[in-house]
Structure 1
């Protein structure tokens, strides 16, 4: 039995060991010969193997300049093998190739798989050339293989790094572009061509149904984030959401599909500690701006932390808030005699009127809420009738009283400054 000690160097014919000068000369000579005599054939072979072996390219998505790219990569590899000291040159070229792949939208895995195919073809070219030209030096292919695959690995790594860098830059550009497009839908008045461009980029159809939710966080944002945020495709209860933020404002575009607002739980869009105003469902990209304006109106009716206010459930209040000048006028026109009373009486009367409206005109429920007897509630209502000249039994008078209370709570007056703490916001 023969025993070979691993620490003993294995001497090959001609005295050439690993990394010998003969191996380096073989690499340089073979690379030069392949470049001058077989580069075109090698390029065609690599292109054929890529089209057959890489699913992305097999699906007829190969870039038109695939052969040119393969030719450039093989030239790069062969040139590097002829002068391994010129690393800056080949790394610069490799970075360019990786960046171009990202620009063309080729998946990185497909790109790297193609490079591996090219590396294999390059190695096969070396083997075939040495067998044909210098069969006595076949044993040196062990050293050649190491050099070839080290080079392929280095080029592949540089290409991958450049690809990821450009892809990241493109992703940032895409975020900025989509942010601007969504901003134009929410806050601008884009024309039909601009609507089509925005819809295509954001994955929205012109005939889709949308709603907008405007958000007020518990604390104000600091300076606008340097990178606008856009969340694409988040699923919440079957409704796709596009989130948009600008300085001091935040909105969610809800792509409703065939759903109605009643199918959208408040909890799915609620903001802990914040407030959300939800506008009506509209149809068409051109109506998104209107939906956003109505959602802002709904948000203005919010008074409690964590509240979600739907416009269709706050229409009288929203009607008042839509005209703050009229809100102030109606509050003073109807409630001025009550507002002129001493603070204690004024607070009690306004609290009773608001509770009576919220409780559907039931003195018993008002008494339970305000911790007083129903007769006390009726006496206070008669006092309000006397002061305002409005009757709680006449429908038109009740409408005026209701609008006046909303106007006082939500209008120019501080909503809760002059009202008792136990008076809940209406609606």
Structure 2
């Protein structure tokens, strides 16, 4: 019998396994005796056994197999005893077989039900514990020794290579992005899902590759080495997500690829001021005019200041782009030939794309005086005539 169920034998030892088998046999025989008197079998011990084995980590299949083997042994013993003492009575023994297996099945079902309930309870406690440990790391409110202990209990090496992923509102990582990544621990809260990625030796770009099949919007922090840095990494991942323009669609944003946009996203009050001071006169235009000028500016910036390439993307003549940009210069009082002005316009445009303009008209902040033509370095915005 021990050789037929090695997992049980390895867990309990041969002596305890033998005692357990004898107990199962006794339960089956007592169940048969109770059944002959019209009574249900006593299932209390089977339920206790199921909960105990779940806590010990015995596979459920092994637990059920022992009950089946016990039932088989009872039947084998009965038939051998009858055959030895009264072979002619064997046919009268056959009707007892269904009753025996009914008892065994009820004992096994009771043990299995208790096992599953214990497993469910243990799983819920483990999930709650893991959530609490992750909160300790992500919130950053615990002392360093507590953060180190939380990381240890989560199985995180220190030092290591970690990154934090924050998903957009309403996004889910149900299709776990484990492919290509050693380990991701997810924490689901009311404000969204956050993942702790244990990178090992993989590059940060592997996070984007793993998330791509999910079709979600996500922000990813830079790599950090210590669990105590994960709270700051989560804040940076949130900024990376906010740095993506509104309506950009699914995609994974690495913070270090959007640092200027993240800088704007980090200071919402200053970003709002930047919108009004730099682009206030543009935002006060009629919706169609406003949209055309902002789209032209964004395209020109994306084309590295090339009017020609911007015109190709916008499907219009280069002179049309130049005229629009010239009008933008006049409205804002900023020159696209002045690098400092270009920085202001680029950051203000980012602030607008992160928070689209409402339908209500914007009261423009008075623009600075226009730049005299004599002070400009070229006749077209951004010195793009040669391009």
- Give secondary structure in 2 for the equivalent of 1:361: coil
Distance 2:85 2:284 in 1: 114
Does residue 253 (structure 1) correspond to residue 196 (structure 2)? The answer is: yes
Distance 2:49 2:286 in 1: 81
TM-score scaled by structure 2? 0.74
Q: Identify if the C-alpha distance between structure 1 residues 254 and 416 changes in structure 2 by more than 3 Å, giving closer, same or farther.
A: farther
Q: Identify if the C-alpha distance between structure 1 residues 409 and 154 changes in structure 2 by more than 3 Å, giving closer, same or farther.
A: closer
Residue 234 (structure 2) aligned to one of 282, 292, 296 = 292
Q: Identify if the C-alpha distance between structure 1 residues 128 and 402 changes in structure 2 by more than 3 Å, giving closer, same or farther.
A: same
Q: Assess if the C-alpha contact under 8 Å between 1:186 and 1:289 holds in 2.
A: yes
Give 1:55's aligned residue: 6
Residue 354 (structure 1) aligned to one of 298, 308, 314 = 298
Q: Identify if the C-alpha distance between structure 1 residues 393 and 126 changes in structure 2 by more than 3 Å, giving closer, same or farther.
A: same
Shift of 1:80: 3.1
Distance 2:9 2:19 in 1: 18
Structure 1 unaligned segments of length 5 or more: list them: 1-48, 222-228, 420-427
Aligned residues: 356
Query: Which of the pair has more CA radius of gyration?
Result: 1
Distance 1:92 1:58 in 2: 23
- Give secondary structure in 1 for the equivalent of 2:250: coil
Q: Identify if the C-alpha distance between structure 1 residues 343 and 168 changes in structure 2 by more than 3 Å, giving closer, same or farther.
A: closer
Residue 305 (structure 1) aligned to one of 235, 249, 254 = 249
Residue 57 (structure 2) aligned to one of 105, 108, 113 = 105
Q: Identify if the C-alpha distance between structure 1 residues 392 and 216 changes in structure 2 by more than 3 Å, giving closer, same or farther.
A: same
Does residue 91 (structure 1) correspond to residue 33 (structure 2)? The answer is: no
Structure 2 unaligned segments of length 5 or more: list them: 363-387
- Give secondary structure in 1 for the equivalent of 2:249: coil
Distance 2:260 2:334 in 1: 19
Q: What RMSD in Å do the two structures reach over aligned CA positions?
A: 3.9
Give 1:235's aligned residue: 178
Shift of 1:341: 5.8
TM-score scaled by structure 1? 0.68
Q: Identify if the C-alpha distance between structure 1 residues 230 and 170 changes in structure 2 by more than 3 Å, giving closer, same or farther.
A: farther
Q: Identify if the C-alpha distance between structure 1 residues 161 and 338 changes in structure 2 by more than 3 Å, giving closer, same or farther.
A: closer
Deviations 1:254-309 (A, max 9, x none): 3322111233445734654x522222222333333322222221222332222332
Distance 1:299 1:290 in 2: 15
Deviations 1:217-265 (A, max 9, x none): 5xx59xxxxxxx9969752234533343223512333332211123344
